[in-house]
């Protein structure tokens, strides 16, 4: 079993309040959770208005499939949401 995760730092555009931020973050987290069958949550920068860090994780029997799913998710973020990707970090592990 392979655990693969990615943390993505995003700049949010068109955000004027924490309510706007929560709406965008909730949409990203929930839509990608169902669309890509991954675990997801906002993991940092909770009180910064125009930035957030969202983590996505997947457990799979095949590293290649897991990486492909998270690569697709990463590619679609800027196309589907008013965000700019500032940084992303990969995390992986193997379960025995």
CATH architecture for segment(s) 2-94: 2-Layer Sandwich (3.30)
> DSSP code of 74?
H
pLDDT at residue 50, rounded to an integer:
92
Strand ranges inside the chain, DSSP E: 2-12, 39-44, 51-60, 83-94
Element (H, E) at 21: helix 18-36
pLDDT at residue 93, rounded to an integer:
77
Q: Where are the domains of the chain?
A: 2-94
Q: Give pTM, 2 decimals.
A: 0.86
pLDDT at residue 96, rounded to an integer:
57
Ranges of the chain with pLDDT below 70: 94-96
CB-CB contact of 92 with 5 (8 Å): yes
CB-CB contact of 95 with 27 (8 Å): no
């Amino acid at each position: 079993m392979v655990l693969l995760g990615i943390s993505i730092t995003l700049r949010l555009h068109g955000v004027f309040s924490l309510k706007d931020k929560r709406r965008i973050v909730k949409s990203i987290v929930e839509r990608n959770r169902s669309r890509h069958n991954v675990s997801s949550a906002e993991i940092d920068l909770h009180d910064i208005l125009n930035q957030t860090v969202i983590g996505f994780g997947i457990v799979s029997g095949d590293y290649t499939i897991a990486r492909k799913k998270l690569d697709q998710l990463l590619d679609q973020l800027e196309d589907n949401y008013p965000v700019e990707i500032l940084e992303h970090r990969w995390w992986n592990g193997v379960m025995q």
